[in-house]
Structure 1
Amino acid sequence: MVNKWLKRAAVAMTATSAVIAVPTPASASVDGCVPAQGGTGKHFGDICLKIVGGGNNVQYMQAYGTGAINPFHIQLYGPEGVVGNTVTTAPGEWNTLQAEYNRYVAGGNWCARLWSHTESGIEDWGTQCWTVWSPDPERRAV
């Protein structure tokens, strides 16, 4: 049934994380969060990514989240490179990084990452990704 849906969809986006890859219905936007665990199984916060648009014609992307124990940063990145990082945010606070596009973006995985500086270096606490693509080669970013 999923294959029939994918063949008929003009636009498709899929959710990916370190653990799962789940097809989602075609829509004008996608939004989702994953727990930031840093591979420990403990809950250190949440990292979220929202993409508004259709296919790879994106209006904006928004990375947002919160960290529970360390001062943290949120990074937004994808096939076009690192979009940006937030300033250091205190534990328990929420922060948001938004990028305005209003254009076709490169297809592939676009991700929000929650990270912090610790005594052992940079710790990656969690990543939420959405795969952006369009089946129409005429509509792919240059």
Structure 2
Amino acid sequence: MTPEQITQYIGMPWVSGEWDCWAFFRHCQKTYYGIDVPTVDVDALDLRQVIAAMESHEERSKWHEVTEPHDGDAVLMQRNRYPSHIGLWVNVDGGRVLHCAQGMGVVCQTKQALALDGWGAMTFWRHR
């Protein structure tokens, strides 16, 4: 994604089930990378449902973990033991994560800024 494409989303509000982290990730994958990511029917406000979906949804088998992220890769983030949030790696200013977070809306953050927000562990995933 280009900086101009990223900028058009910054500040858009998080809306559960409509424009949450998964819906935003799906939109970007389809629009910019041509990857159809399915909807996942979970309540974005129910952390247990979100964690279960990220751990066991069949879509996960279509992605493989990588150590060095490339533009468009998925970024799974966790605050405790399990991933509960998803963003998109963008190659801007040395690399950032574009994501839609509850209470913040769409933001583009460095790994360091994410760590300060409590997202201590991140893994990177590429579509097969």
Task: Please say whether Structure 1 and Structure 2 have the same fold, judged by a TM-score greater than 0.5.
Answer: no
Q: Which has the higher strand share?
A: 1
TM-score by length of 1: 0.30
TM-score by length of 2: 0.32
Q: Which has the higher helix share?
A: 2
The structure number with the bigger radius of gyration is 1
